[in-house]
Chains A and B, each alone.
Chain A
Amino acid sequence: MKAYFYMVKIRMQLSLTYRFEFITSIFVQIVILIANSFLWRVLYANKTTVSGVNMKQMLTYSIMSVLISCIFYYDVENGLRSRIRRGDIAIDILKPINIFAMYFFNDVGNALNAVIQRILPLLLIAALFIQLPLPASPTHLLLFMVSTAFSFLIMWLMGVLFGMINFWVINLGPLGNIKEMIIRLLSGSIIPVWFFPVWIQKVFSFLPFIYTYQQPLGIYVGKFTMGEALFGIEIQLMWVLILYGGYRIMKNRALKNVLIQGG
């Protein structure tokens, strides 16, 4: 267990060494933050509420969406891809430890970093130039945090499943990027799914995507009743279990199938 915590520490230390990457990416997020706020102001120009959500809530939603996207940034997928391609995965497998748990804590380190290095400054900028994104109530805030933690697990497990495909297919090509785009669009990270026709909402409710962004964000702004919020979190838990089951099966097969490149 100590090793996993040390991994978190190492990751936090490492991210401090890449200052240039940090500055450029936070700049991009500031632009997205501000562009989003203009978009929603225009869309709400003549209306007070749309689908039971007013403009203030919607601005909070879009700000929080950018903030939590910082946490959902994980290494595991690209990490597996490059480590398998270059054959460095061999080094990891030689350790008497669950390598995927190691990657997980590496990404927990990333997430903790994101809170300090990105979320706090972005929150400050949003509060100064757009509005302070307040939760609907302290209870909503608490549920939002639980829900976000589950979202992180869902995102991470999808990442690790995609990453593991590299054990069989040497070059996954742009499939990973396509997955990112699908999540971006279908998760409600940009436009909440409740603006879509009912039948699309129905279909989406059976897919894992809206349980990554829309679920915690909807809770935060108070779009969901307490009952809806709790039910949503249960579905999130269900997806975590399904994806975890998939991960267990894939993991055992992958490690039997390892083919180290070169050497």
Chain B
Amino acid sequence: MALIEVKNLSKEYKVVKKKSGLRGAFAGLLHRETTIVNAVNDISFSIDKGEIVGYIGPNGAGKSTTIKMMSGILAPTKGSILINGISPQKDRQQVVKNLGVVFGQRSQLYWDLRLGESFELLKRIYQIPDETYKSNLAVMNEILKINEIIDTPVRQLSLGQRMRGDLAAAILHSPPILFLDEPTIGLDVEVKYAIRKFIRDINLKFQTTIILTTHDLDDIQQLCDRIIIINHGRIVEDGSLHELIKRISPYRQLVLEFYDEVPEIKHEKAKVIKQEISRVWLQFDNTKITAADLISDLSVNYTFKDLSLEEPNIDEIIREVYSKT
């Protein structure tokens, strides 16, 4: 059985329409028009142990709403969720024991206390045995350099340091499932790198199942075997990123740079799509011809200075998925 089962899940919000101006405010006191917004609309998916799943979608697509329903914070309007066979709505405490959750925009750490003190509290809340606590802290220190900041009050930590603290806090109780809601938001390259390494490492080490929502597609590209794309509350794609790229954009590009002007290039399996004075972009379908073959074909007829291969741009692919749905 899958570790996470989501079936026909929907969430409706009632949104009060506010009219503008003072008159509108008064009118709102007497009569309220409400509209129903389907934040999540009949979605289903299942996730197995050890998967890293990228859960992506534009702002307001329903990502966080789904995460919140899966962690028992929010009650679904319709449908069912089973985490490890238990519904978070029926037995919240039992489910959250198996969860680690990090919200990039909120912290679970105590603002005025040393980072270590928040950990000590969590140790007691989750009833973590001493040895587990110590070994988990040691692992955290290895990956996230927690010892550097453990004695600092949380309010004095930088955003990156705080995020390291929050990630460590989320997995102190070695949860089999980890929800990361935009963990790299607003962080610099180095911290992002550390966090990606953390995600990969704990997935390998503990077989942790990870659901990651993010707008940073580099995160997805480097971490996720599988992506689920949600838009307007519906799942529009569910599969491997590689497959998606192949399906939506099967083409790759070869860029050739010449010593002077670009000659007219003809090849039956490649198409010129862009041209500058000394550079030319050729698009080819790599299921029909390999890059190596194309390059050797071309080098017979033309002399060029330099060449590079460009992968399809993932941002553009995702944007295409968003706009089509």
> Which A residues contact B (CB, under 8 angstroms)?
2-3, 6-7, 10, 13-14, 17, 87-88, 90-91, 93-97, 255-260, 262-263
Contacts and interface: CB of A to CB of B under 8 A. Distances in A.
A6 B121 contact: yes
A90 B110 contact: no
Given A87-B106, A263-B68, 10 more contacts: A3-B121, A13-B117, A14-B113, A90-B106, A91-B108, A96-B93, A256-B75, A258-B75, A263-B106, A263-B181
A30 to B, nearest CB: 26
A7 B106 CA distance: 20
Contact of B117 (A10, A90, A97, A262): A10
Interface string B105-138: 1111010110001001100111100000000000
Contacts of B107: 91
Contacts, number: 68
Contact of B74 (A3, A13, A258): A258
B269 interface: no
Q: DSSP class of B's interface residues: helix, strand, loop or mixed? A: mixed
A259 B121 contact: no
Contacts of B121: 3, 6-7, 10
Contacts of B112: 14, 17
A223 B115 CA distance: 51
Given A7-B121, A90-B68, A13 B113 contact: yes
B74 A259 contact: yes
A257 B77 CA distance: 11
B146 interface: no
A2 B117 CA distance: 14
A91 B96 CA distance: 11
A10 B113 contact: yes
Contact of B73 (A10, A17, A93, A97): A93
The 9 closest A-B pairs by CB, nearest first: A3-B124, A2-B124, A3-B125, A96-B97, A96-B93, A91-B108, A263-B64, A90-B73, A6-B124
A173 to B, nearest CB: 13
Contacts of A91: 103, 106-108
Contacts of B74: 258-260
A214 B127 CA distance: 42
A93 B108 CA distance: 11
14 contacts: A2-B124, A3-B124, A6-B121, A10-B121, A13-B113, A17-B112, A90-B73, A91-B106, A97-B125, A256-B75, A258-B73, A260-B68, A263-B64, A263-B68
Nearest to A87: B106
A94 B72 CA distance: 8
A94 to B, nearest CB: 5
Contacts of B235: none
A244 B125 CA distance: 24
A60 B94 CA distance: 51
A140 B13 CA distance: 56
B254 interface: no
Contacts of B105: 262-263
B83 to A, nearest CB: 13
Contacts of A259: 13, 74
Contact of A95 (B68, B96, B106): B96
Given A10-B117, A260-B73, A95 B125 contact: yes
A90 B113 contact: no
A17 B13 CA distance: 41
A162 to B, nearest CB: 22
Interface in B159-206: 181
Contact of B94 (A87, A96, A256): A96
A87 B106 CA distance: 9
B71 interface: yes
A256 B92 CA distance: 11
A256 B69 CA distance: 11
A167 B96 CA distance: 21
B227 interface: no
B99 interface: yes
B92 A93 contact: yes
Contacts of A14: 110, 112-113
Contacts of B56: none
Nearest to A95: B125
A2 B97 CA distance: 16
Contact of A94 (B94, B101, B127): B101
Given A14-B112, A88-B106, A93 B124 contact: no
A7 to B, nearest CB: 7
Given A263-B103, A263-B181, A96 B68 contact: no
Contact of B126 (A88, A96, A255, A262): A96
B108 to A, nearest CB: 5
Contacts of A257: 75
Given A2-B124, A3-B125, A13-B113, A94 B71 contact: yes
Nearest to B14: A259
Question: Which of B13, B64, B73, B94 is most buried by chain A, counting CB atoms within 10 A of its CB?
Answer: B73
B157 to A, nearest CB: 16
Contacts of B73: 90, 93-94, 258, 260
Contacts of A90: 68, 73, 103, 106
